[in-house]
Structure 1
Amino acid sequence: MSTQDTAQFAATFAELRAVVPTLRSRPKSILRRSNPWLPRCLALTAEAVHRTTGKRYYDVQLLGGLILAHGGIAEMQTGEGKTLTTLLPAVAFALSGGGVHIATTNSYLAQRDCEELRPAFELLGLTVGLLPPEHDDAAKREAYLRDVTFGTGYDFGFDFLRDQLTQRAQSRRPLGTKFLARLYGRSERRHTLLQRPPACAIVDEADSVLIDEGAMPLILSGSAASPPIPALLHLAAQTAAELAPEVDITIDAARRRIDFTPTGWQKIHAILSQHQLPLARPWNVYVENAYRAAQFLHRDVDYVVREDAVHIVDPQTGRIHSERNWRDGLHQAVEWQAQVTITPERVSNARVTRQRYFQRYTTLAGMTGTARGVELEFRHFFGLSTTSIPTHRPCQREHRNDRCFATGSARDAAIVAEVEAERSHGRPVLVGTRTIRHSLALADRLLDMGIPHSVLNGVQDEAEAAIIGSAGRSGAVTIATNMAGRGTDIQLDDAAKNAGGLHVIAAEHHPSRRVDRQLAGRAGRQGDPGSYRAFISADDDLITQSRSELGRRLIAAADLSGEVRRDFSAAIKSLQQQFEHDAYQNRRQLVERDNWLDEVLESLAATDRRTSTGVLP
């Protein structure tokens, strides 16, 4: 099926729409590869898009939609129209029965995509829902009853956990509750679940949602535990400050972990023995948390402080997540370090890994611009094959050689100089940073140079669309954390195209090559001109946390200006490959632990159900 094939249906759209009830009556057959109804469904969807937006699908979009409809991962590059492509399988899934969940990386994208695709869905007689940002049970149930529901991946997961708690509570009703309710003529109170049984899910930025975030289980916290004791946090911080590396502790900076030597173990317990303080966990955990809060977790890098509270920054996207908390007392240690109000710890009531959650769907599909490198994980964890979709137009992006420096200061000065050089020719420039702190530091340098710029770093979510909307104008300068590399589309004006297109600068390499490629993909979209260059310094986290000799080699090879004229790209690639391997092992071990924990919990729940119903083993 091609765009020419879909165009021939324009004159008979009413007839095609009449086919919808027929398609709904074939829920199990519509998605079979050899079934003729699937091409008709895609053609119907394509015509609905044309009627509501005036756009025609490219052949590559139709190919991507077909891959998704068959339950796979489609790798589509930036600017190739992934949002419209999502509509193709979503309609097919909705007509096949059950609900369709379209999962995005953040609520901004969920709302944007829902608003853009809603007219086409409704033209086909399909209902659309959007998960509300606040926890409103009635609104959530209404959204889940629609044919298609938009939301973030973590919102879908947390609502599943809430339903698990509801079911657990219902299973623990005292023996005879139903009988007594009927005897006295009372209706038995039962809580309605939020979600229907899972059917189909389409995951946008699938490598981010399914792979990168797979190392962080979804944990639903309940009522607060005992309030923290400030004196205990203060003593732990003082004790951590007295620990001597290699004497009292050994440090693994890459994993943000410390281990006590026998000398260190004796020291921390000798300090504790001088105080009479109640402990909620082993004393060494308090000290480890205090050390991590002081040495490994940094303000405007790993977290930000807003309104007297600590908010965690996602290391992959740069977005701020107010709903997340570090566990086992670490969050309170960071709050002490940041000198904000100490909040009570939260107790974990339910948890699930993203891998186990998304494995529940009968049909799972996803798309991303950076599937290369994690194909085996998609197959291992989810049974999904990956297909790379060609671009509609040839890519004209120029990849320039990396520039290396001995220090971050020399690197940042060179970045500002390159920004000014490209901007002076009328080109828009996007500078991607790994951290909020670095974005602010570069913004200060540009301000000192009198260079107008915008900053997109996870702090101004409300202004994101406006900033991205102007980032492609001739001469515009935008500094952004990794959030600019996901789900955003920078469109160039004519003057910017004529000047050479968008120039993208990576202020430092990310440990994951996929994140680097995602940032580079901002330039050269849909055949536009553009270029990309990465900058490296010896004190980048990728280098300092790897225990490699690369940092010393860069410093030794630097000239008087601080720049290194040799090519170290192969060494950087090797470090990234090692990081990716370690990250995969961490995710695999997490899933194994989660599987074991689920088996234990299910066994306990089964025993609890037998006990509550009076059936003893």
Structure 2
Amino acid sequence: DQLAMDTAARQRPGSTLMKRLRSESSTPRLQRGLAVALVDEIDHVLIDDAMSPLLLSGTRPGEADDAAVHRHALKSARSLRNCVDFQTIGQQVELTDAGLDLAYQSIDDWSDASLRRPWHEYVELALQATHTLRREIDYVIDDESVRIVDQSTGRIYEDRTWSGGLQQAIEAKEELPIQRESESLAKITRQRFYHSYDYLAGVTGTASDCREELKSVYGLTVQTVDPRLPSKRLVQPTHVSLTAEQKFAAIANEARSIANSGRCVLVGTLDIATSQIVAREIRRQGLTCELLNGLQNAEEAQIIARAGQPSAITVATNLAGRGTDIRLHPDVAAKGGLHVIVTEHHRSSRVDRQLIGRCARCGDPGSSRNFLSAEDNLVGQAAPWVGRAIRRAIITDQIETFPVESQIASIQRRQAKRAAVARRQLLDADERDRGLVRKAQSSHDPAPHLHALDAG
């Protein structure tokens, strides 16, 4: 609708923003109206995916005009020192004063027409592409194109790109053709879009952690439905290791032990790279396993259909974590059901619970175990003291289980609060933009139908 109204405005000389706001356009809206939305996995759609707005963008084919600038920025970035010339804050990178000086010393003799942004921003984009975004984790390369990986679901997006030059910085890093930047044609936050529906509801198995945000942002209350049958799930104590290598070996050993008993195993990983490491370790021990991480040609449904067979081992990213129903062979159910191995804690406890929820469904038996090493990203980045405690416990007592569940839960709560703050800031920025439009509108024509448009 935004794009249609903007197109109509450009085609009518003398048209103004106020005319478009008053709906004085002959261009019909493309949507018939937003009446009812029933959302499956509603916490993923309204919470996890709401970290970024919905964008409608377009681009022209061909190499970017500033491709040479991106390549030179990458060369300059590789000479800069972390914590001296630049700092990383989350997934953002910022040059220090010393780094700015070095960056501008390396600038080439380009005309202003070659630069879409200040030179130091090109260098920061190259640093971000090099130091914070990882191949096979944050993105994959497919047919000489960079494809974004959804960290919550593990799915590889075919039609999404990073904006602001970041996509081009990664293409330079990977020595791919550097395409022109896409330009935003229309934008709306998920929060505002779903607010536009007259009736909004949905279902999920993991709404408890975000019930306050669902209430405050969307006006939704959470109602709990008790399971039809009592749960038979057995959650085993967390297995701890000193290093990631030791952890992967322990995961393969447990998968082998469970598979040899006639049960089936689902090994859940956070990213494609880890799924490949775990699969290699399992195969190194003489076992066979299916790999589901978005890179296979085989259909997902076929792999999942085989996952419930006796002695089957399936290694998967979060593709198999949310909404997947693994049907158990009768012999597997009789011997204890599916065993889920969580290779690494996600920053969101809801994602971990979705993965664990693949076992012991609808009254079936099942079990799960979390694996943790002192080198895991969640521990190293958010709570290094937990890693130190693990090292002391293992070295001193030679143990493989250590009570870290409460510490991990505390870390995940802090991570969830930070994510909620980021979503609130995005919503506040959207409200400020809308406020400017409302202020301009009210100064021209406080007609009632304009208020109705705002409410929608």
**Are the equivalent residues in 2 in contact too, given 1:406–1:562 (CA < 8 A)?**
no
State whether structure 2 residue 95 is matched by structure 1 residue 237.
no
The letter of the residue matching 1:271 is: S
Structure 2 residue aligned with 1:200: 36
The letter of the residue matching 2:357 is: G
State whether structure 2 residue 78 is matched by structure 1 residue 264.
no
Structure 2 residue aligned with 1:441: 277
Change (3 A) 1:448 1:464: same
Shift of 1:228: 3.8
Change (3 A) 1:394 1:547: closer
Change (3 A) 1:269 1:356: same
**Bigger-Rg structure (1/2):** 1
Task: Give, in whole Å, the separation in 2 of the partners of 1:515 and 1:398.
Answer: 18
Change (3 A) 1:192 1:459: farther
Any residues of structure 2 matched to 1:89-108 within 5 Å, and which? Answer: none
Shift of 1:170: 2.5
Matched position secondary structure for 1:527: coil
Structure 2 residue aligned with 1:174: 12
Matched position secondary structure for 2:291: strand
The letter of the residue matching 1:174 is: R
Structure 2 residue aligned with 1:483: 319
Taking only the aligned residue pairs, the percentage that are identical comes to 38
Matched position secondary structure for 1:374: helix
Which one of 415, 418, 423 corresponds to residue 254 of structure 2? 418
The letter of the residue matching 1:232 is: V
The letter of the residue matching 1:197 is: G
Change (3 A) 1:460 1:263: same
Matched position secondary structure for 1:259: strand
State whether structure 2 residue 348 is matched by structure 1 residue 512.
yes
Structure 1 window deviating more from structure 2 (190-199 vs 571-580): it is 190-199
Shift of 1:376: 0.4
Which one of 159, 163, 166 corresponds to residue 327 of structure 1? 163
Task: Give, in whole Å, the separation in 2 of the partners of 1:460 and 1:604.
Answer: 52
Structure 2 residue aligned with 1:249: 86
- Count of residue correspondences: 435
**Are the equivalent residues in 1 in contact too, given 2:87–2:93 (CA < 8 A)?**
yes
Change (3 A) 1:266 1:518: same
Per-residue CA deviation, residues 247-276 of structure 1 (Å, 9 max, x unaligned), is: 212222xx1122322211211112116666
Structure 1 residue aligned with 2:379: 543
The letter of the residue matching 1:239 is: S
**Are the equivalent residues in 2 in contact too, given 1:410–1:562 (CA < 8 A)?**
no
Task: Give, in whole Å, the separation in 1 of the partners of 2:107 and 2:79.
Answer: 13
Structure 1 residue aligned with 2:18: none
Shift of 1:439: 0.6
**Normalising to structure 1: TM-score of the pair?**
0.67
Structure 1 residue aligned with 2:124: 288
Matched position secondary structure for 1:305: strand
Per-residue CA deviation, residues 491-539 of structure 1 (Å, 9 max, x unaligned), is: 1111000110000000100110000100010011011100010101122
Structure 2 residue aligned with 1:33: none
Structure 1 residue aligned with 2:453: none
Structure 1 window deviating more from structure 2 (275-284 vs 206-215): it is 275-284
Structure 1 residue aligned with 2:145: 309
- Structure 1: segments with no counterpart, 5+ residues: 1-162, 178-188, 610-617
Per-residue CA deviation, residues 358-409 of structure 1 (Å, 9 max, x unaligned), is: 0000000010010011000110111000011000000000010111111110
Structure 2 residue aligned with 1:165: 3
Structure 1 residue aligned with 2:448: none
Structure 1 window deviating more from structure 2 (302-311 vs 282-291): it is 282-291
Structure 2 residue aligned with 1:15: none
Shift of 1:577: 1.1
Task: Give, in whole Å, the separation in 2 of the partners of 1:279 and 1:486.
Answer: 43
Structure 2 residue aligned with 1:48: none
Task: Give, in whole Å, the separation in 2 of the partners of 1:377 and 1:245.
Answer: 36
Change (3 A) 1:176 1:212: closer
**Are the equivalent residues in 2 in contact too, given 1:557–1:564 (CA < 8 A)?**
no
Per-residue CA deviation, residues 193-229 of structure 1 (Å, 9 max, x unaligned), is: 4421110000000000000001011111124498243
Structure 2 residue aligned with 1:219: 55
Shift of 1:554: 2.5
Task: Give, in whole Å, the separation in 1 of the partners of 2:171 and 2:107.
Answer: 21
Structure 1 window deviating more from structure 2 (413-422 vs 544-553): it is 544-553
Matched position secondary structure for 2:229: coil
State whether structure 2 residue 189 is matched by structure 1 residue 353.
yes
Change (3 A) 1:176 1:593: closer
Per-residue CA deviation, residues 63-119 of structure 1 (Å, 9 max, x unaligned), is: xxxxxxxxxxxxxxxxxxxxxxxxxxxxxxxxxxxxxxxxxxxxxxxxxxxxxxxxx
Change (3 A) 1:276 1:561: farther
Structure 1 window deviating more from structure 2 (472-481 vs 444-453): it is 444-453
Change (3 A) 1:523 1:445: same
Structure 1 window deviating more from structure 2 (467-476 vs 378-387): it is 467-476
Structure 1 residue aligned with 2:264: 428
Task: Give, in whole Å, the separation in 2 of the partners of 1:280 and 1:606.
Answer: 35
State whether structure 2 residue 272 is matched by structure 1 residue 407.
no
Which one of 216, 220, 224 corresponds to residue 384 of structure 1? 220
Task: Give, in whole Å, the separation in 2 of the partners of 1:562 and 1:415.
Answer: 18
